[in-house]
Amino acid sequence: MGVLSGLEPQRVFYYFEEITRIPHGSGNVERISNYLVDFAKKHKLFYLQDELKNVIMIKEASIGYEKEPPVILQGHMDMVAVKKPDCNIDMRTEGLKASVCGDRVYAEGTSLGGDDGIAVAYALALLESDTIRHPRLEVVITVDEEVGMDGAREIDLSMLKGKRMLNLDSEDEGIFLTGCAGGVRQKCSLVLNREKRTGAAFEITVGGLLGGHSGGEIHKERGNAISLLARVLWRLTRKLSVSLLEAEGGLADNAIPRESRAVVVIDEGERAAFEELVRSTEEEAVEELAGKDSKVFIRASKIGEGAYLCATAADTGRAAGFLWALPNGVQAMSADIAGLVETSLNQGILKYQENILTVELSLRSSVESAKRALAERVAAITGLSGGTYTLSGDYPGWKYRVHSPLREKMTAIYEEMYGEKPKVEAIHAGLECGLLANKIKDLDCVSIGPQISDIHTTEETLSISSTARVWEFLLKLLETKDIVPGRQNEA
């Protein structure tokens, strides 16, 4: 018996728990992809698995639905795999420890992968059933969505018949998403000269932050641990002779980093000034983030004394200036949709290994030219700092469709079931719909999903009751025919 075996809908949570037992962080999807293939074989479904490990599964229409327009169900199989510092789970080789608290499913010490494991679970529960009424179902499960939508970019959908698609990668029940921002990843690197230096080694740690999804929660202006660390380092290098020994922060470019650290070497005689600069910067951060990220801390502690091979003081200052000059957070708000972020940047991953400092960024915008301009600005700062950069994972935005029979049908069913209209919105976070719409002419698409909180963090939770309601909505949507006897289908 699984931990989730008593939850409803039973088959959805059965498959969701099965998925949590398989390591499936981005870039580590072979096992989950093969699991889907084995599922298709077991249930005698047509399937395709491409070289990237994307999987397509098809189930023909149930009796009486043969003339209905096919429906594409789409989600991704990878998750943002993050864990708490004291968690000893190896997320590349071990599954998650799913647990239940009240109405919420969570994973002990790690992210849950509700984004987007629940989409896969919904799809498998639909595909295995012999009693659910539905048109032809074309299930598309992509790889590595969380690190640039590589699977959606390369997948071949030419064999699909559907012209309407349900993307199941949304985290807010009752909201129909019909547009999203485009994005790109930018990785910047600086080579730092090193020398041997004798002095005191101090570790600077930034923590206590909430983090969150860099698309869905960037507007909350939470603290970014990498940006805060850059602020400290910049101030230290302006006043003292500081040499960088180690630096790291963040776990994914599209997750707002909660923690960062650096080890620097200073002269023991400058310790008092060093500690005062760290303390004063923490005070400012606490004041500025009050009400947004109130548990932030910046601390320094001595960890050793001796001779170290570290970056020169001059290059440490150059690196600190580069990091502190990089933009971060919301860059522009939409002039068309109140409250919608138009353009943003997230400093997601920081590393200093041997003599190379790298920072990985996630850039987003619903205006393509603004996205390009932001990438150019980062490139200019990097170049002026003596560094280089690469761009990857570029994906287009998803433009709102004025006439959408699918959205109209879904809205009518939602009103019938719940007595109120759903919200129809666009979001700043990225979805695969834009890429897939470029592959299927005149694709009519809406994104929905159950309530998931704090995605991409170790506090991620999936609402059990919301999962059940969205399941019931899916069943009603699929069983409601588009073709009425005596009337030509308008879709």
Judge whether 5 lies within some domain.
no
Q: Which of 17, 18, 68, 78 is catalytic?
A: 78
Q: Does 82 have pLDDT greater than 70?
A: yes
Judge whether 486 lies within some domain.
no
Tens-place pLDDT, residues 333-342: 988 778 889 9
Both structure tokens of 174: 């009752």
Phi-psi region of 111 (alpha: psi -120 to 50; beta: other; left: phi over 0): beta
Tens-place pLDDT, residues 445-466: 999 999 999 998 899 999 999 9
Residue scoring higher pLDDT (482 or 50): 50
User: Do both 352 and 406 map to the same domain?
Assistant: no
Angle at which helices 464-479 and 10-20 pack, to 10 degrees? 120
User: Do both 54 and 151 map to the same domain?
Assistant: yes
What is the model's pLDDT at position 338? 82
User: Do both 200 and 337 map to the same domain?
Assistant: yes
What is the model's pLDDT at position 488? 45
User: Do both 302 and 348 map to the same domain?
Assistant: yes
Find tokens 């190896």 and name the residue.
Answer: 90
Judge whether 488 lies within some domain.
no
Whichever domain contains 91, its CATH number is 3.40.630.10
Q: How far is CA 424 from CA 41, 153, 393, 434, in A?
A: 38, 26, 27, 17
Tens-place pLDDT, residues 350-362: 999 989 999 999 9
What is the model's pLDDT at position 429? 84
Whether 448 and 469 have beta carbons less than 8 Å apart is answered as no
Judge whether 360 lies within some domain.
yes
| Proportion of the chain above pLDDT 90, given as a percent | 88
Tens-place pLDDT, residues 198-211: 999 999 999 999 99
What mean pLDDT is predicted for residues 108-120?
A: 97
Q: How far is CA 26 from CA 78, 151, 184, 380, 456, in A?
A: 5, 11, 16, 30, 12
Q: pLDDT-based confidence at 393, cuts 50/70/90?
A: confident
Q: How far is CA 452 from CA 11, 36, 169, 448, 465, in A?
A: 19, 23, 10, 12, 11
Clarify whether 78 is annotated catalytic.
yes
What is the model's pLDDT at position 491? 41
- Helix, strand, coil percent values for the chain (each to nearest 5): 30, 30, 40
Q: Does 489 have pLDDT greater than 50?
A: no
Both structure tokens of 312: 């020169």
Q: What is the DSSP string of 175-190?
A: EEEEEE-EEEEEEEEE
User: Do both 177 and 277 map to the same domain?
Assistant: no
Both structure tokens of 89: 């789970």
User: Do both 217 and 124 map to the same domain?
Assistant: no
Judge whether 490 lies within some domain.
no
Within 8 A by CB and 6+ apart from 376, the residues are: none
Q: Does 484 have pLDDT greater than 60?
A: no
What is the model's pLDDT at position 482? 86
What is the model's pLDDT at position 326? 98
Q: What is the DSSP string of 349-396?
A: EEEEETTEEEEEEEEEESSHHHHHHHHHHHHHHHHHTT-EEEEEEEE-
| Residue in 159, 147, 143 with CA at minimum distance from that of residue 74 | 143
Whether 94 and 88 have beta carbons less than 8 Å apart is answered as no
Q: What is the DSSP string of 23-57?
A: --BTT--HHHHHHHHHHHHHTT-EEEE-TT--EEE
Whichever domain contains 343, its CATH number is 3.30.70.360
Q: Does 485 have pLDDT greater than 70?
A: no
For all residues of the chain together, what is the average pLDDT? Answer: 95
What mean pLDDT is predicted for residues 57-64?
A: 98
Both structure tokens of 13: 């949570």
The DSSP call for residue 131 is S
Q: Which of 145, 169, 217, 444 is catalytic?
A: 145
Domain boundary among 339, 366, 393: 393
Q: How far is CA 105 from CA 13, 449, 455, in A?
A: 10, 15, 12
Judge whether 53 lies within some domain.
yes
Number of domains the chain contains: 2
Q: How far is CA 302 from CA 201, 233, 351, in A?
A: 6, 16, 21
Measured between alpha carbons, how far is 143 from 126 in angstroms, rounded to an integer?
20
User: Do both 204 and 320 map to the same domain?
Assistant: yes
Judge whether 114 lies within some domain.
yes
User: Do both 98 and 220 map to the same domain?
Assistant: no
User: Do both 148 and 221 map to the same domain?
Assistant: no
Q: pLDDT-based confidence at 483, cuts 50/70/90?
A: low
Q: Does 27 have pLDDT greater than 50?
A: yes
Domain range enclosing 192:
187-393
Find tokens 């072979």 and name the residue.
Answer: 30
Judge whether 309 lies within some domain.
yes
Tens-place pLDDT, residues 402-436: 899 999 999 999 999 999 999 999 889 889 999 99
Clarify whether 171 is annotated catalytic.
no
Tens-place pLDDT, residues 264-316: 999 999 999 999 999 999 999 999 999 999 999 999 999 999 999 999 999 99
What is the model's pLDDT at position 162? 97
Q: What is the DSSP string of 260-283?
A: EEEEEEE-GGGHHHHHHHHHHHHH
Tens-place pLDDT, residues 140-193: 999 999 988 999 999 999 999 999 999 999 999 999 999 899 999 999 999 999
Measured between alpha carbons, how far is 377 from 380 in angstroms, rounded to an integer?
5
Tens-place pLDDT, residues 308-349: 999 999 999 999 999 999 999 999 998 877 888 999 999 999
Both structure tokens of 477: 């949507």
What is the model's pLDDT at position 486? 47
Both structure tokens of 365: 């915008």
What is the model's pLDDT at position 459? 94
Domain boundary among 393, 408, 427: 393
User: Do both 427 and 370 map to the same domain?
Assistant: no
User: Do both 104 and 159 map to the same domain?
Assistant: yes
Q: Does 487 have pLDDT greater than 50?
A: no
Domain boundary among 377, 393, 409: 393
User: Do both 236 and 103 map to the same domain?
Assistant: no
Whether 31 and 22 have beta carbons less than 8 Å apart is answered as yes
Q: Catalogue the E-assigned strands of 43-103.
A: 46-49, 55-59, 71-76, 98-101
Q: Where are the alpha helices (DSSP H) in 169-241?
A: 225-239
